[in-house]
Amino acid sequence: MSAPSYIFTSESVSEGHPDKVSDAIADAVLDAALTGDRGSRVACEVLCKDHRVVLAGEISSETDLDFHTIVRDQVEKIGYTDDDQIFHPDRLELLEFITKQSSEIAHGVDAGERPPEEQGAGDQGIMFGFASDETPELMPLPILLSHRLAETLAGFRHGKKVNWLRPDSKTQVSVRYEGNTPVEVTDVLVSTQHAAEVTLDEIREFVRTELLPAALGTWFHERLKLRVNPAGTFVHGGPAADAGVTGRKIIVDTYGGMGRHGGGAFSGKDPSKVDRSGAYFGRWVARHVVNEGLAKKAEIQVSYAIGEAAPISVLVETFGTGDAERAARYVKEEFDFRPAAIIERLDLLRPIYRATTNYGHFGRPGLPWEA
């Protein structure tokens, strides 16, 4: 019986997408807090619209945080520096609605009279980790290529190689599978903000002849169907055209829909929040299951109750690609899912989080859960 054939699609967004601008600011705030105080508790939410940036949430830290400088620096690094932009680092209005972490949450999370390793989970919830051997990065190919397109596009812009590119963009890649094996890229969609003077024909020519070969590598071929700015011109973008909010790109941040998601966002949260650290550890464990040869594809689900250290449940799924019982025994014997153990094993009390914001939290080198 032949393996089923199907097409799977994933999308990515650039660092200039309004939601990603918000994520970047939130993660920069977290890194600034951890730089001065490894015990910082941060739950930072960000809203960007027009020339306004709103910070809200709970932050308890010994670090003296200069929010205005953090926000301006991030907006400038992303590239919203053209004089005709409403959203510009020199014209930003910042509104702050920050309080300290709730004493009730702090009491439930902190070890207190318990041993330090019994630090409670910072929230209840479910988290998933995923890995697949279909790529060297152990990531699904559609999201991996979507990220590469968005990141390569940003590289052309930052490198001043294409002077009409602007920060806001989205990419999408469709891949045909035979069973669990990706065999061909069928469709690519690129929507990129641009200067007013460039024509759509020029943009399409650049995407097909320069961007796609550079980003897709051996997966590029002339038969693929390409759509570039299908709605027409895209001059007005970023927070000036749309509102950006933290945590709205959770599928972009993870597996592009190929692996399940527990629903909790990552950016702006310190690692006591298991939405973030539990998902990172789940990815690390799933990678180990695949690397150990126990499965070709693995998914880990972990669940927590707020204030409790031990997880409620840990589930291992191998999708029929390996020995699920053996994989489950391996995970139970080798990995400690308590929050303090996760934080120690991955060394998460460091200012590493701004590096995770763009082009996926998984599948990129340099991150401890990818080591």
Kindly list the catalytic residues: 17, 19-20, 45, 58, 170, 234, 242-243, 248-249, 269, 273, 275
Q: Please give the single-letter amino acid code of residue 87.
A: F
Q: Residue 219: name the closest of 187, 178, 171, 261 by CA.
A: 187
Asked if residues 258 and 10 have their Cβ atoms less than 8 Å apart, the reply is yes
Q: Residue 309: name the closest of 343, 332, 333 by CA.
A: 343
Using CA atoms, how far apart are residues 299 and 183, in angstroms rounded to an integer?
Answer: 22
Using CA atoms, how far apart are residues 357 and 128, in angstroms rounded to an integer?
Answer: 18
